[in-house]
Amino acid sequence: DSGVTQTPKHLITATGQRVTLRCSPRSGDLSVYWYQQSLDQGLQFLIQYYNGEERAKGNILERFSAQQFPDLHSELNLSSLELGDSALYFCASSKDSDKNIQYFGAGTRLSVL
Amino acid sequence: AQTVTQSQPEMSVQEAETVTLSCTYDTSESDYYLFWYKQPPSRQMILVIRQEAYKQQNATENRFSVNFQKAAKSFSLKISDSQLGDAAMYFCAYLSGHTGTASKLTFGTGTRLQVTL
């Protein structure tokens, strides 16, 4: 158990809908990262938050947004869902914004039908 | 931009034998970290080992060790005394060590390791 909690484990929804994925980092970790794992794109970095502020953006679509709350949990919001958004979404956390080890949650599997 | 290449989509090893998974990377940076993550069928991403580029000594973690060749930009993972539980997808990953750059992991495409009896 990495200590990073992601909910829900599985999500099935329809095209055009909006979903929210939740992540609770390890105790004491200030940084949260979101990654997407899909068959065609592999594992890709989406976005990083550090202590409530956006720190870095990767290949994140405009339809996607994220935030980190004062209690350090984070949410990834996916809207206007398309079939191609079906993927495994991982959250990871690390102690601070420096180059520490990122510990991954178990992921949320999103299926868009 | 940094890239990570894993040229072996699949590998197979017999139980108790040794196997080496290959990884090469491309970067112009001098300060960085390299990782191997394991993804078993449960889909959980599990850290196997980490190497800091400024350290010449190869990292080891029990049965797992790396061969880090900085000049060649090569970072291979050796698994000794392979066990059935080692069967998984293995990802090589790069992390920039430069302050101010995004702390994002750049992953390779993965190598699926099968362990046979």
Q: For residue range B76-108, list pLDDT tens digits in order.
A: 999 999 999 999 999 999 998 776 666 789 999
- Tell me the C-alpha distance between A74 and B21, whole Å: 34
Q: Does B27 lie at the interface with A, CB-CB under 8 angstroms?
A: no
With a CB cutoff of 8 Å and minimum separation 6, the contacts of A92 are: A4, A32, A33, A34, A35, A102, A103, A104, A105, B45, B105
Chain B residues with CB-CB distance to A35 below 8 A: 105
- Tell me the C-alpha distance between B65 and B31, whole Å: 21
CA distance A71 to chain B (A): 21
Q: For residue range B28-65, list pLDDT tens digits in order.
A: 988 899 999 999 999 999 999 999 999 889 999 999 99
Collapsed DSSP state (helix, strand, coil) of residue B70: coil
With a CB cutoff of 8 Å and minimum separation 6, the contacts of A26 are: A2, A3, A4, A93, A103
What pLDDT is recorded for position A65? 97
What pLDDT is recorded for position B100? 65
Bridging pattern class, strands B60-61 and B64-69: antiparallel
Q: Does B62 lie at the interface with A, CB-CB under 8 angstroms?
A: no
Q: Does B54 lie at the interface with A, CB-CB under 8 angstroms?
A: no
Would you say B36 and B103 are in contact if contact means Cβ atoms under 8 Å apart?
no
What pLDDT is recorded for position B7? 96
What pLDDT is recorded for position A97? 59
- Tell me the C-alpha distance between A53 and B113, whole Å: 38
DSSP chain A: --S-EEE-SEEEE-TT--EEEEEEPPTT--EEEEEEEETTTEEEEEEEEETTEEEEE-S--TTEEEEE-TTS-EEEEE-S--GGG-EEEEEEEESSSSSPPPEE---EEEEE-
